Amino acid sequence: MGDTTQITGEVPGGPEADAAGLMDLLLGAAKLQVLHAVAALHVADHLADGARTAEEVAEREGSQPRATYRLMRTAASLGVLSYAGDHAFGLTGRGQLLRAGVPGSLRDLALAFTGSGHWQSWSQFPDAVREGTSQLKRVTGADIFGYYARPENAEEARIFAGSMAEVSALTIQGAMAALDIARVSTVVDVGGADGQFVLELMAANPGLRGQVLDLPHAIDGARAEAAKRGLSIRFSAVAGDFFTEVPAADLYLVKTVLHDWDDGQSVTILRNCRSAAPAGGRAVVVEAVVGDVGTPGDFAALSDMVMLSVTGGIERDLAEFDELFTASGWRRGKTYHVGGGYFAMELDAV
């Protein structure tokens, strides 16, 4: 099985190469679902201590052996698994990131991207382009955050929160390494979910007091995370609406929040931070930044399609960010890459 020695010839250039390239793009959904299955069936976890055959993985997981082999064979073609022969597979560096609970894991992100809420949004994507906004509310009766707040979607919401923590892990250390907080005593993590960003800052700076502002269903996770880290005495989590009011602080962390919202909503969030900020107050915005048009594989441009489909938000280039900042009373200063395709933009009050 898998012998290709009798296949001769190469794929020619020109129209046939274009067709092969387009076919590869058309199989993008299949590639995502392969990652979904590898994550959901704990394939990477079953291989954590060394190579195993597909049959051994199937026995551990309770999956059908031949289908499991076919899945693992395809995952090897995507560079997620390595093939050791005789139906045995091991993990590559990418595969390690689909393990649960390991540093740098992106397992929850794979599960979130293939969750029912996301998938229902993508089914209506042409209409999202026609109308300029997500169609999720049309098919489920709620926007993505209302969808996650429903009790019946609690597990999907938990996975989504975990995926956001994974994205945070990609960016936080890079942001902390460059962020000057010498004159900062209070920090608010705006829409901060479980508070990974502010809690990391607090752990590194014992005099710092921190707070998360988020929706009611999200803040219990922040309190639990603060307790786990032994930081509860300097930390609070507040249920609130950043479109209405933001607590006062020396520094606002606005990480992967603005891309969920349109320009008017984003200006409101930033303006509320500006209005609550004391003299000398600052903010740091962490987002993907769209590159020059036509940049191959532009992470932010692809992410922009996720925003259009799922949240109705938008990924922006630097000029578009500057328009938001100017309209809300901020001025962009130092801007730097923080990892995983994301950038930090430090803002000073005007």
List pLDDT tens digits, range 14-59.
888 889 899 999 999 999 999 999 999 999 999 999 999 999 999 9
Give the domain extent around 33.
Answer: 15-99
Indicate if 90 and 195 belong to the same structural domain: no
Using the 3D structure, point to which of 99, 130, 147 is the last residue of a domain: 99
Indicate if 235 and 333 belong to the same structural domain: yes
- As for how many domains the chain has, the answer is 2
Do residues 313 and 261 lie in contact, with contact meaning Cβ atoms separated by under 8 Å?
Answer: yes
The secondary structure element, H or E, covering residue 321 is helix 318-327
Indicate if 234 and 93 belong to the same structural domain: no
Query: What's the pTM?
Result: 0.85
Catalytic status, residue 259? yes
Q: What is the CATH number of the domain that holds 76?
A: 1.10.10.10
pLDDT at 185: 96
- Does position 220 have pLDDT exceeding 80, yes or no? yes
Does some domain include residue 135? Answer: no
**Would you give the DSSP letter of residue 186?**
E
pLDDT at 278: 94
Does some domain include residue 177? Answer: yes
Catalytic residue among 46, 217, 259, 337: 259
pLDDT at 105: 95
Using the 3D structure, point to which of 74, 99, 124 is the last residue of a domain: 99
Per DSSP, what are the bridge partners of residue 347? 283, 332
Amino acid 52 reads R
> Which residues are within 8 A (CB) of 139 and not within 5 positions of it... i.e. 6 or more apart?
120, 121, 123, 124
Using the 3D structure, point to which of 73, 99, 125 is the last residue of a domain: 99
Does some domain include residue 31? Answer: yes
Do residues 312 and 138 lie in contact, with contact meaning Cβ atoms separated by under 8 Å?
Answer: no
Rounded CA gap, 245 and 171, in Å? Answer: 26
Strands (E) across the chain are located at: 52-53, 81-85, 88-91, 186-190, 209-214, 235-239, 251-255, 282-288, 330-339, 342-349
Do residues 350 and 282 lie in contact, with contact meaning Cβ atoms separated by under 8 Å?
Answer: no
Does some domain include residue 138? Answer: no
Indicate if 179 and 86 belong to the same structural domain: no
268 to each of 132, 133, 280, how far by Cα in Å? 20, 19, 20
Least confident of 8-22, 67-81, 136-150, 287-301: 8-22
Indicate if 326 and 229 belong to the same structural domain: yes
Q: Provide the phi-psi class of 191: left if phi over 0, else alpha when psi is between -120 and 50, else beta.
A: left
Indicate if 312 and 207 belong to the same structural domain: yes
Per DSSP, the residues of 47-104 read TTTS-EEHHHHHHHHT--HHHHHHHHHHHHHTTSEEEEETTEEEE-HHHHTTSTTSTT
